[in-house]
Amino acid sequence: MNSSTDIFLHTNLSVDEFLSEYWQKQPLLIPNAFPNFESPLSPDELAGLSLEEGIESRIVIEQGKSGLWELQTGPFEESTFTHLPDSHWSLLVQAVDLWIPEVKALLQNFDFLPPWRLDDIMVSYAPIGGSVGPHFDYYDVFLLQGLGQRHWKVGQTCDYNSPRLVNTPLRILSEFNSVQEWTLNPGDILYLPPQLAHWGVAENDCLTYSIGFRSPSLSDMLGDLATELMTQDHPAYFRDPKLTTAMANETIHPLFIQQVKSLLGELLDDEKLLSEWFARYMTTPKYPELIEETDEKRVASIAGKTYLNGDLVS
């Protein structure tokens, strides 16, 4: 396991320096991060995975029959690939690390990060011009070039108000202001923090490994926490603040809001409840229905308790 003073991949940075100066702050190009890298997967093998039930896959065509940035979802048929254009499309397959041990082995290079923060390794193939358009993500990602070359442009910081194209199911930015550009070769890595606009275009037949980390939305977390509270039949109920006759009208008095804040504050102060819920939440597999097939193991420990795939085991 990496220590804080270990060199971060093939850079002049220690792990601590990377975490303090770059992680969730700014992009970092790491040339030759994996010297003499050979992709553990071929384009044909990736296409084969996209034919399988239970494996999440997508094809993005820049100019499809339905319009700009067409999205198709798998599983696909072999004939799908015979009807694709010669260029300007991408195949993306999620969670390849669950199916290919050699891809999973790449994660050993990132053991300086909490393992329960990992989302998956998505692998994408694209012929020349292939792309998924200018966009941004809410999670950290290491983009490892596996085969061929891909040209990356990095732009502005974005949020949910950033303008997007209409008439496409994809979240494509309608405005993109390039700030930095690089062309990645096999073994190169580009680290991108959350909410940074980026746009990668294949310069030839290429494979890219996207090592992404979980970043659930607050609404998702609150929804899951609410489910947890209902499962436990949590005893907290709303109670009125001290009432007066002046409060007996249609206008909600600020004291009622203060009462709600107080109840929520009590919940947030329940460290045992929150820690146990968070450990369960962050170790729940992305595809729980596939645990037996993939032998996925997501483990985290907190307050002396160990959770495996969302369940308390010790």
* Residue 30 burial by Cβ neighbours in a 10 Å radius (0-12, 13-18, 19+): buried
The 10 Å Cβ neighbour count of residue 69 is: 21
The pair of structure tokens assigned to 254 is: 């600020």
Q: For domain 15-213, is the CATH number 2.70.70.10?
A: no
CATH of domain 218-312: 3.40.366.30
Q: Where are the domains of the chain?
A: 15-213, 218-312
Q: What angle do CA 265, 224, 96 make, to 5 degrees?
A: 135
**Helix, strand, coil share (%) of the chain residues, nearest 5:** 30, 25, 45
pLDDT in tens, 149-179: 999 999 999 999 999 999 899 999 999 999 9
Q: What angle do CA 49, 154, 74 make, to 5 degrees?
A: 20
pLDDT in tens, 278-309: 999 999 999 999 999 999 999 999 999 999 99
Between 1 and 31, the more confident residue is 31
Would you say how long the chain is, in residues? 314
The reply to whether the predicted model has a pTM over 0.85 is: yes
pLDDT in tens, 171-207: 999 999 999 999 999 999 999 999 999 999 999 999 9
Instruction: Quote the mean pLDDT of the chain.
Output: 95
CA 156 to chain centre: 19
Comparing 15-213 with 218-312, is the CATH topology the same?
A: no
Helix axes 218-231, 271-283, angle to 10 degrees: 110
Is the pLDDT at 44 greater than 80? The verdict is yes
HSE (side-chain half, CA atoms, 13 Å) at 87? 6
Which residues does 31 contact at the CB level (< 8 Å), separation at least 6? Answer: 10, 185, 188
Q: Hey, is 58 helix, strand or coil?
A: strand
Q: For the CA atoms of the chain, what is the radius of gyration?
A: 23
